[in-house]
Chain A
Amino acid sequence: MPRIPLMNILWARAFCRKCNTAGRGLCTYRKIFMNCIVFLIAIPCVAAFFLLFLRCSILRGAIVFFTSFLVCCASIFLLVTQFNREISYFDFVLPGISSAMTVIKVALAAYIFFIGIKHKNFVISGLIALQVILFLSFEYTHGHALVVAHNLFIDKFSVIMVMIVGIIGSLIAVFSLGYMRDFHEQYHKEIKDNRGLFFFLIFVFLSAMFGIVCSNNLLWVYFFWEITTVCSFLLIRYKQTDESVRNALFALKMNLFGGVAFIAAIWLLYQSTGTIELDKLILHGGGIALLPVVLLGFAGLTKSAQMPFSSWLTGAMVAPTPVSALLHSSTMVNAGVYLILRFAGVFQVRLAGFMLGIIGGVTFLIASFIAITQSDAKKVLAYSTIANLGLVVLCGGIGTYEAVWAGILLIIFHAIAKGLLFLCVGIIEHKIHSRDIEDMSGLIITMPKISIMLQLGMAGMFLAPFGMLISKWAVLKALVDFNPVLAVFIVFGGTATLFFWVKWMGRLLIVSGEPRDLEKNISLTEWIPLSGLALLTLGICALFPVVSSTMIEPYVREIYGVSIAMSRGNIVIMSIMLGLVMLFPLSFINYGKNVKVVDAYLGGANATPGTSFFGPGGKMTAMETRNYYLTDYLNEKRLLEFGAVLCLVLIAFMFIVSYW
């Protein structure tokens, strides 16, 4: 390969016009991109193995920083060079790679089988056995005949996912350094320090995610998919308490259902179309058999914790917070909806797709209402994640170009905001030793920077003109053009989300009692990712028109031939709104001028200090307030049961309809 100056790489597009506008073939520049993808998949894996065996925390920190930095750079490199290119396909040929994958697959399967036996969870053993049988028999019967032209590819949607995984993933990995140190040395001394394994799993997981979004070969996607399942299981189990093990097994079980569906789908797809390459499959459009695609959709539902599988995600909240942030809100669960959105073109105008969409919509509605009843902050975030993923599934199921555009937008905004929220909650949990929202009173005074970032994340989830509002607006428009009656999901679910976010935001603002400073001793490794994500939340809102026009709209146009153009007027107005809301901190310049501070009105029975009053018998009583959780009207268990039954019926219906 000749030496190529860096500048030329960045202008590769100009040079690559010579080579084949369909984007296939392998000129030198495209070799670089392919190597970049391989790099992204391989490097975290290599780093992971180093981290597994390292004991020294300084070296560990250095490797984590270095790898994260490399991953970030590589992701950005891919963005910069790819954002104006068409889809590129690469035939990545490495001798023995499929045999290696098979060996790893079987080894992992054996491990899981053994785990199932050990914990007497025979469903798990049964499922993994079924998967292995299907997989091996597929390999045996079709392996030699299988010809895959291109194993890897990169298009704008993949680039978006790469960016999300790369940037948010690296920031969270860096965050985990400081967080896990405090976790083991200060707050949970009773838990065995297994940080080597922890970081190993985090980085293997990052490799696997890159693999999922860059693979064109469905078998490879399946391979990486299963790796993420195993990583998730081991990470949830990290604390090794009974509760953790139980929840980890449950998560494993749910994801294995998806795994079985996946391999079955691969079988059926190969039998009906003779190929397992994503691009060729999508090209078939509505022509391919629906059942395998529905099976893939089912796999996506399990991975993204939609109803009736949502309990695994809420159960996974026992894991340390970086795990929740990385796997269970920003990246792994996005793999499921990523798959569904890929096949959105197939789901469009099909009844099965419509059913899938309804499942997503029902999940959104029910999860939003359940979130109102939760006072555990991580549970609230978990249900909110389930709800938003439900919205993306709704978009994927509907499958129109507007819906796909909205869905991708949702993924981006949700990943960033949720990551930020989880990290903030993690730090708060360490500092105030509680995850309960009602204990977060006065946080605006005791932890001002953290609570501002928390509020920024929350605003990003539901408030205009921030991200999620824009996405919800886009979904609303997409739904209205497709079938307005579906809008009822968003309309009611949206108001529920508003309620529980504002409740929480308000709780942070209420101050009673003496101010303390809880923000010391937060390490730099924790501040950098937090500030980074906070800035990203703001930045991506400000820049979303750019993101939309350069990345999402071209992708949608490639698939559907037509795309949305956001009206310029609205963009201008939203930017004005964003700018004005950002002026809010400026108001503190006038803090305390021209006002006189008095006590709150407590019927005149104020006692000093502050918010105490003279209660019955003249006893000084502190004033306490507690938010409404509506537990009398919304019962988590019953709602979950109702949702599960409804969605199971819908899933059954979906399969029946697709079979015909």
Chain B
Amino acid sequence: MSNLKKSPWIIHYDGSSCNGCDIEVLACLMPVYDVERFGVVNTGNPKHADIFLVTGAVNEQNKEIIQNIYNQMPDPKVVVAIGACAGTGGIFSECYNVTGGIDKVIPVDVFVPGCAARPEAIIDGVVKALDVLEEKNKRLRAMSTGLASMSIERAEPKDLKEILALQKTAFQSEAEIYNDFSIAPLNQSLDELTADFKDKIFLKAVIDGTIIGSVRAEVKANRCFIGRLIVDPHFQNFGVGTRLMHAIEEACGDVGAYELHTGHKSKRNLFFYKKLGYKKFKSLKISESITRIFLEKNRR
């Protein structure tokens, strides 16, 4: 049994429940059920936690909170939705203010049914979650050691679905910077992507059969327009982006210059492109909050 299973730390959040499930969760920590004998500690801090125990349904007020707490947890992490409300909205699912179960806002790994869920069921759920946690950890380890074995290839039509999902995940942080979730990358449909595939060169970065990055480019009038450089958030800062850029620049063939664009507040992207030799030459205001900065690099 790995150490992750021997020392699961939990953070407990109550969405909008009647507190019944919460009391049952607390009961688990008390002498009769005593989950501490498994090493479970109720830390109240997402940064210290492995398992996110959520009770209660999601409503407008706590949607962001649940997402924030989830984002502030370090990988590998699992989510356990406890009780009927956390699963589907329970008895309140048709209320005007209730959005639904937890899986509407974050990915859930284990659902523990019940109203209120009994402590034995909760412990059962946590143990199952530990197995999922173990799985995720293995995948994470494999992936990060697998970076050495990363390969960059031309994408195929069957990869488009995966690339689209990755695109939506990777552009989340961009959307957050501008507080605008209507940006094009987040709202592109699969058909549009397939249409794009015909005109553009698509590259994918693969480790162990899983796509962790992608980039596309179009050659027009002796210029190569590069766009939608995406890297799975777990694999950022490992040089994947740089390798993809080099690869796409090569794949474009004999062109005079390369061009791309990003938002004016995307400091990290700007820094990244500057490091690769791109220089700003134009800026265009495309909406209230976003000014697009265009960068180019001449081919030597």
Contact = CB atoms under 8 A, between A and B. Distances in A.
Contact between chain A and chain B defined by CB under 8 Å: yes
Interface of A: 593-594, 596, 598-599, 601, 603-606, 608, 614, 618
B66 A604 contact: yes
B68 interface: yes
B197 interface: no
A605 B68 contact: yes
A608 B72 contact: no
A606 B65 CA distance: 8
A606 B179 CA distance: 13
Interface centre among B65, B68, B177 (most CB of A within 10 A): B68
Nearest to B13: A604
Contacts of B65: 603-605
A598 B72 contact: yes
B26 interface: no
Contacts of B69: 604
A601 B49 CA distance: 13
Nearest to A603: B65
Most A Cβ at <10 Å: residue of B13, B66, B69: B69
Contacts of A603: 65
B237 A598 contact: no
B71 A608 contact: no
B179 A601 contact: no
A635 to B, nearest CB: 37
B269 to A, nearest CB: 15
Interface string B54-78: 0000000110111011011010000
Interface residues of B, number: 18
A493 B65 CA distance: 45
B72 A599 contact: yes
B232 to A, nearest CB: 13
A598 B71 contact: yes
Among A593, A606, A614, chain B packs the most CB atoms within 10 A around the CB of A606
Instruction: Say whether chain A's binding surface is mostly helix, strand, loop, or mixed.
Output: loop
Contact of B177 (A593, A594, A599, A608): A608
Nearest to B61: A618
B176 A608 contact: yes
A601 B177 contact: no
Nearest to B46: A601
27 contacts: A593-B237, A594-B237, A596-B74, A596-B237, A598-B47, A598-B71, A598-B72, A599-B68, A601-B45, A601-B46, A601-B47, A601-B72, A603-B65, A604-B13, A604-B62, A604-B65, A604-B66, A604-B68, A604-B69, A604-B72, A605-B65, A605-B68, A606-B68, A608-B176, A608-B177, A608-B179, A618-B61
Contacts of B46: 601, 604
Contacts of A594: 237
Contacts of A598: 47, 71-72
Interface in B205-235: none
Interface of B: 13, 45-47, 61-62, 64-66, 68-69, 71-72, 74, 176-177, 179, 237
Contacts of B66: 604
Contacts of A606: 68
A221 B29 CA distance: 76
Given A604-B13, A605-B65, A606-B68, 10 more contacts: A593-B237, A594-B237, A596-B74, A598-B71, A601-B72, A604-B46, A604-B64, A604-B66, A604-B72, A608-B177
Contacts of B13: 604
A614 B64 CA distance: 10
Contacts of B62: 604
Contacts of A605: 64-65, 68
A605 B67 CA distance: 10
Contacts of B61: 618
Nearest to A618: B61
A601 B176 CA distance: 17
Nearest to B65: A604
Nearest to B268: A597
Contacts of A604: 13, 46, 62, 64-66, 68-69, 72
Q: Which 8 A-B pairs have the closest CB atoms?
A: A604-B65, A604-B68, A604-B69, A606-B68, A598-B72, A608-B176, A601-B45, A605-B65
A59 to B, nearest CB: 46
Nearest to B62: A604
A246 B113 CA distance: 77
Contacts of A614: 64
Contacts of B71: 598
A599 B173 CA distance: 13
The residue in A593, A599, A604 that gathers the most chain B C-beta atoms within 10 A of its C-beta is A604
Nearest to A613: B68
A609 to B, nearest CB: 8
A614 B68 CA distance: 12
Contacts of B64: 604-605, 614
Contacts of B45: 601
Nearest to A609: B177
Nearest to A598: B72
A614 B63 CA distance: 13
Contacts of A608: 176-177, 179
Nearest to B179: A608
A449 B13 CA distance: 43
B77 to A, nearest CB: 13
